[in-house]
Amino acid sequence: NAGVTQTPKFQVLKTGQSMTLQCAQDMNHNSMYWYRQDPGMGLRLIYYSASEGTTDKGEVPNGYNVSRLNKREFSLRLESAAPSQTSVYFCASNRSGGSNQPQHFGDGTRLSIL
């Protein structure tokens, strides 16, 4: 009963490097989300995908791209990492994009940009 699975759990990058954070859910959810969490800032939405084939910007999309590969998988890409992107990244999913549905979270990716 995996729920939402994120890889990798930890990553250290140098400024300018690129990488992709992977997220997969096995709950047959339609909607998926990427958040970042910084001390004192709370959770902030980066991008979301209301359904397979669609993606939309959230509150802090700059410097990121996403791909909804299929219903299960939603990846987040940093094309040219910057120290300001050091954060904990959470992927989440819920049954539908309606905001009356609680979201279920993966256990996070801790990313450090040097």
Partner 1 sequence: RKEVEQDPGPFNVPEGATVAFNCTYSNSASQSFFWYRQDCRKEPKLLMSVYSSGNEDGRFTAQLNRASQYISLLIRDSKLSDSATYLCVVGNYGGSQGNLIFGKGTKLSVKP
Binding residues (CB under 8 A) for partner 1: these are 31, 33, 40-43, 45, 48, 50, 56-58, 90, 94, 96-108
- As measured in angstroms, the least distance from the Cβ of 102 to partner 1 is 5
Phi, psi of 25 (to 5 degrees): -125, 145
> b/e for 87-114, b at 16 or more Cβ within 10 A?
bebbbbbbeebeeeeebeebebbebebe
- As measured in angstroms, the least distance from the Cβ of 111 to partner 1 is 14
- As measured in angstroms, the least distance from the Cβ of 53 to partner 1 is 14
Residue with smaller CB distance to partner 1, 5 or 75: 5
Could you tell me whether strands 31-38 and 10-13 are parallel, antiparallel, or unpaired per DSSP bridges? Answer: unpaired
Whether residue 61 is preceded by a cis peptide bond, meaning omega within 30 degrees of 0, is: no
CA 18, 87, 47, 71 torsion-angle sign: positive
Residue with smaller CB distance to partner 1, 53 or 102: 102
- As measured in angstroms, the least distance from the Cβ of 97 to partner 1 is 4
Residue with smaller CB distance to partner 1, 56 or 79: 56
